[in-house]
Amino acid sequence: CSASANKPVLTLFTKKPCPLCDEAKEVLEPYKRRFILQEVDITLPENSAWYDKYKYDIPVFHLNGKFLMKHRVDIQKFEDRLGKLELQSE
């Protein structure tokens, strides 16, 4: 099954500590088989552009490189977008 190759990538823009990010990851836990989680620490020097953009907004989520949501997980929006991507990759 080549499903893993086609899994959407959920990018989490975060920094340490980030209680809201931890909370968001818990909310997404039941879905984790359906996407690849990639965390970007915005405090790292190479991520300064993201830091400038999101320093007051984390957690911020992008799905397959497109902005999805920030601050809190919007499960409805997440499920909609994830479902659409899964249909496209079949």
Which domains can be identified in the chain, with CATH numbers?
9-88 (3.40.30.10)
Is residue 14 within 8 Å of residue 39, measured between CB atoms? Answer: yes
Chain length of the chain: 90
Would you write out the chain's pLDDT as a tens digit for each of its 90 residues?
Answer: 455 568 999 999 999 999 999 999 999 999 999 999 999 999 999 999 999 999 999 999 999 999 999 999 999 999 999 999 999 888
- Residue 52 carries which side chain, given as an amino acid letter? D
Is-above-0.75 flag for pTM?
Answer: yes
